[in-house]
Amino acid sequence: MEPVLYTLQGRRATITLNRGDKRNALDAALTLAIAQAITQAETDGAKVVVLQGAGPAFCAGADLAHMQRLTSFTPEENLADSRALKDMLLAIWQSPCVVVAKVHGPAIAGGCGLASVCDVVLASDQAVFGYPETRIGFLPAIVAVFGVQKFGTGRIGPYLLAGKPFGAAEALALGLVTKVVAADALDEATDAYCADLERGTSAQSLAATKRLVRMAEGSLNEKLELACRMNMETRQTVDFRRGIAAVLAKEKIDWEVKI
């Protein structure tokens, strides 16, 4: 099964995360496939890209089997894996296409980060967001860099620290979500939004405006490289191994208990 499905209709590309049975959890193949699909959309002259998930979830974050493998990776292998995630998110962030996330269900951890790097997020009122990394002994390193760039430390910081899920209305107030609609209206709302951009805006103007919005953000690449290294270091810790083992065993972690 292909990790993503890619279609092009007119000036609109649609990228569907195609691991619905795994809640579209990110592994190496899916991460690479998303980046390649974004590049394909640019090559095809797409003006708008819709990013969506098959099955009940938009994206449930990192694949647990992949996360378990990371505990045995060398520092160099973990750094390469982190950089692959960074490259995928950066491809969306820097794409000249307007990338619209269509979030119908859970967008958790890396899935929440995936939504946050999109230019527009249209969400069902049933969608759930969250950055749970601190609750499993990890950290939202790369996602945090983009989150701070987009929302500011004061707004995104409490969500990154607490690690608790939050609904679409709260995501709208945070600025993560552009618009919330009823679940049965999400397809129509997404189509209407994209059709308006396709018909009513210049592709060159959209790309230039997106560059303009990103210009004042400082040294993003340096921050992302630091985040990759922090990811690598955290994956060597006892807490990370403990957290991944507990998640796989479906056990609750009592972080007050030291081991």
Cα separation, 211 vs 253, whole angstroms: 43
State the catalytic residue, choosing from 76, 133, 170, 233: 133
What b/e readout covers 229-255, taking b as 16+ CB neighbours within 10 angstroms?
bbbbebbeeebbbbbbebbeeeeeeee
Q: How far is CA 235 from CA 61, 75, 116, 226, 243, in A?
A: 16, 8, 23, 14, 11
Query: 133 catalytic, yes or no?
Result: yes
What kind and span of H or E run contains 128?
strand 128-130
What b/e readout covers 133-158, taking b as 16+ CB neighbours within 10 angstroms?
bbbbbbbbbbbbbbbbbbbeeeebee
Cα separation, 55 vs 250, whole angstroms: 22
Residue 228 CB neighbours (<10 A): 23
Residues designated catalytic: 133
